[in-house]
Chain A
Amino acid sequence: MPRRTDLHRILLLGSGPIVIGQGAEFDYSGTQAAKALREEGFEVVLVNSNPATIMTDPEFAYRTYIEPVTPEFVELVIAREHPDALLPTMGGQTALNVALELADRGVLARHGVELIGANARAIRVAEDRALFSDAMRRIGLAVPVGGIAASYDEAEALLDRVGFPAIIRPSFTLGGTGGGVAYNRTEYEDVVRRGLDMSPTHQVLVEQSVLGWKEYELEVMRDHDDNVVIVCSIENIDPMGVHTGDSITVAPAMTLTDREYQRMRDAALAVIREIGVDAGGCNIQFAINPRDGTMLVIEMNPRVSRSSALASKATGYPIARIGAKLAVGYRLDEIANDITRTTPASFEPVLDYVVVKVPRFAFEKFAGADPRLTTQMKSVGESMAIGRTFKEAFQKGLRALESGRIGWVIGATPADDRLADDTVEALRGALRQPTPERVFQIKRAIMAGISLADLNEITAVDPWFLAEMQQLVDAEVWYAGLPAVEAHDGGTIRTMKQMGFSDRQLGDLRGEPEAVLRTRRWAADVRPAYKMVDTCAGEFPSATPYLYGSYDEESEAPRTGRRSVVILGSGPNRIGQGVEFDYCCVRAALALREQGFETIMINSNPETVSTDFDISDKLYFEPLTLEDVLEVIDREKPEGVIVQLGGQTPLKLTHGLAAAGIRILGTPPDAIDTAEDRRRFAMIADRLELHQPESGTATGPDEAAEIATRVGYPALLRPSYVLGGRAMQVVYDEPSLREYFARAVRASEERPVLIDRFLEDAFEADVDAIADGHQVVIGGVMQHIEDAGIHSGDSACVLPPYLIGERDLAIMRAQTVALAKALGVVGLINVQFAVKGGVVYVLEVNPRASRTIPFVSKAIGVPLAAVAARVMVGETLAEIGFTEEVVPPYVAVKEAVFPFSKFREFDPILGPEMRSTGEVMGISDSFGSAFAKAQLAADNGLPMEGAIFITVNDSDKSTVVPIARRFHEMDFRLFATEGTARYLRGRGIPAERVFKVHDGRPHAIDLIVNRDVQLLINTPLGKHAHRDDYSLRQAAIAHRVPYTTTLSAASAACDAILALRSRRPAVRSLQEWQALARGGADRPAAARPAAPFRPTPPDEQMAAVSP
């Protein structure tokens, strides 16, 4: 059946903010789906609250709604747009849940909207564990023994059949949130109760543990005519018990015979037919008993997923794109294979290479969080690498992770590998429990002579993988022991490079610098060959240069002779460097392609849009290390390289690239250095007469203490050259300063620690601007909602600013322009300011894309990263036509989204170290309403009525008064701990006293547990933070009570509630908003928004956030 002609307008749901378990992969799939539907002539209406995505850029849809992905808001969009169909399979669990809810509420039927891609029944059967188990039984497939429980009593009854260890999975949650493994009754009760809490249907599945079984996944596609293909098989190195998102995985499956593989394939076909995914893709997970081959079906996702993104990148078969076409009626054999362009999509890709995916974790940012890997996903990103053998891909994948390891290398100390000491006993003990470091512990174990049989027994990692790893260890020993003449031989070097060793690894093995190794390797002409990912193992010619490097003979990278530009991507997602940088790279690639350049992307992140093979002219799926990048550049000989759009990852390579004589496009490397170098930057600041907080640079604790005494406490400490505020901390006295040096950082001459006077209670603002070497144009000025001291990535912000005075804004704009000119910026620049006591301070200058670029671009309707790319290749802003700041006549709010519910042990307060994983945007005509939308989108449901619990530190007591008064005036009941209650009552605000946790009952936590309060206002910032507060915030997260830890956010919440109560929510598309911004662009550039955006008198607001 060809394309359906009865559909015209299709509603596509995005996945909302990036959270653990639902990441950038849904931007990739959603963007593909939107493009595929548009090229078929459909009007795509998109709903997604995440501004950092490519899919939400206005040209990717007919109408783009940056609104919360909730049933309520999607219904508003449906009522306004009247789509014919809803495609729910591209936006993760979020989109699927919303679609199901809309179907259940009758909204879809009422508006005549058809679900395409997956019907409601299929979604329900796949998601509801009981229905799923029944379905599997009907087709004769085995599932783990277990059952569904809707209460702890029911769960307890299941234990008889299931036994310990037991696996607990909440229904309808993503990334296994709230799930876990229980080895005893206490753990069982904990995990079950938590799971019941977190499941939207208050159900958990309790299952027999198949810990240690081999784990596989198949990606399956099916069309309306029941044609089915398997796109890819994936084998997890970490066996059952570790979430697949947290496992190192390999494609294709490496240890299955054809008989076993075909049995799994047959089962997959039966599953997709029984569940009834009638036009689209799904992911099916299997467990195999390594002792006898028994196969169980673990789960099935009737939608695209992280694994389908990985499978698409691993095979070159674009699952989301094909899935979208199937959903609108095409058959698989009517769709072309985009890589070969001569064969149809109704085939199964074959691989002549090995793909390894490695998860990236962020435990260093969540001190105290449990680092054990279980069935609940904890990783925040991933790298993927392609090689001709597992060994090559495995080492490339590990170095692509950018976690400081240059391949499969053990840490300098046992602690680096999460070991108590370097004894074999410690090692054996640690190996039993999967953690992010286990793969390095395995190396230590092999080096220590623990047998592979033992290792298999302890870790359940398949012996084949262990043997491959053993070969790497053997190779190291062999190479390290060779006489120089043999080690320097080209044949030897090639042998080692074929096993994926980086130049640095090889250098380290023989005590030589990386550069020496590289010079020798080049002299011996041992260079990587670039091979194509072509879906067919070379059987058909490929038209698409999707390439990977391998030390093999024949390079296939085509040479076109066109003017080309290399864009360096941002590598694996991590906290502080996420999808927003990928957004910038993609915009640059698209813009330069349009300008006639051959665009060459280098990146290692399989989740992203940038690694979609049709975004750039050539895609090199390679690690972003100096070695790998230099090799690609040597092959491609581009006019230059763009390093300023991919975050810290490419920026760190600037020196090495420049030293190799490679042209860095845009802002010169020296300017990047100047901005990072405190001393050099201070000279510029002096010359421009800018204020900076008192500061200094220290390489040790004594020096630091001296500086802190000079600049005064509180002081802000941080290492140089970091992103996302890694190890950034505010200290209030010398002991905590010394502790910081003891615990948090290893300072050195090359990596000193920066010490700033911390501006407590200051306003902060971010300015993004763009410069072409002659002219500087402000992109946007954003005011942070949270005070200084909260990392800018974690702070909500608003554009245009609403509480900063005109004079201060003018100063910021002027200083940004002056800085851009003084540094010689060509491209983007971001400046962070603080305002305190009538003085504007410059906190930080970054001559590169900031993480707010996509947000600002959306808010003002100008694709800043695209403009920046064009400026970098020599166009002027005047030529491009962006010469004046656009101040939109509406309000855009960005809010951060946090992973605290995944790290239950961690104190969920905000600070200078960034901890958010994603962001959302709210746009409206008033601050309160925009902020409210952002809160809803971030899943911080604000109460319309009820009770508010206030407990603030002494210095905040006066500030909280106006906020409390407004809540009181809105008829909220107020609870407070004794001190706060007395203070409020003294100022005429009725507040009921509640016991602190240790003072009696009912106490504060009782109120939260019983859900007697609907909002918690708790400020811990300052030197007098209490342990009590910690358990309070923990309880709030566990019981899903919204909370705020800053008074500025509390005040904003007050505005938002007022806005929500005063009128019904309304939706408007980004295209419509941006048309307003364009209409308003002829106003004076510095014009401030008019008064209506301030729901409360400015004076009271000022009072609310600044004592």
Chain B
Amino acid sequence: MKTNEDLLRKWLDNELDASELQAFNALEDSALLEKISLEMQSFKAPEYDSVLEFEKLKSALKSPVNLVVRPNFRAVWSYAAALLIGLGLFFTVRFSNTSQTTDMAEIKSQRLPDSSMVTVNAASTLTYNTLLWRFDRQLELDGEAYFEVVKGSDFTVNTHLGSVTVVGTKFKVKQRSNYFEVVCYEGTVSVSISNEIYLLNQGERLLKADDRQDQRSSIKEDVPSWIQKSSAFTAAPIQRVLNELERQYAVKILTNGIDTRSLFTGRFTHDNLELALKSITLPMGYVYSVTPNSIVVSVE
């Protein structure tokens, strides 16, 4: 006896005989199934021209497919061709270094060739080689960036104050003058500073500032605050806070009579300069005045 499932399966494979077809049409779902099938014909995939696509593939692969080492009188040409291609590749690789530089008040997101994501904070430069990327995931950073790395081979960020290596995770690297900070948001991160190596797990932070001892601490956020359009600080010297404000708003800030090592805890928004200035000056007992070329922050 044919169950409903059997009928359905045969209908789907177009294998019903006349009596089975009758039984199928009597099923409750058959009308809807027919209607869906009919409508779905217009969702068909576009035509795929495999001859054309193969030509595209061959030009993407360039030489090796056409290099054949046959009877010896051709051998010399093959070697010459191989050499030329080798040189061509060498120069192509050399010239495929890519640099991404952000200006003041600019935060840029970019996808790397392996689909990892990097978001670069203001006034920073990120450099890597697009051709070699798939074989060796290395890049140079001068400034601050947040990374979401796709699992794969080792992924290394080099700055002139230290290096970070990960295998698929989310982390932030910040290198400014005399300031090197790494925060791990997910996974595990290996940080190398001079001859020391540190392993950071999720929620851990490493800071090397000025000439002080390297400090480990823990953090609660899931992403850096500037990804969500504000900058947050915990007991940071006010000078650093003002430097970040300069970068986010592309303004020049001068101080008058304040101790730039005073510690600030709080945050400022990236969307409103006045509000940002108030968030910083009010808690510290400072005032600010705006001149045509700069903003002056002084004691009340």
Tell whether A pairs with B: no
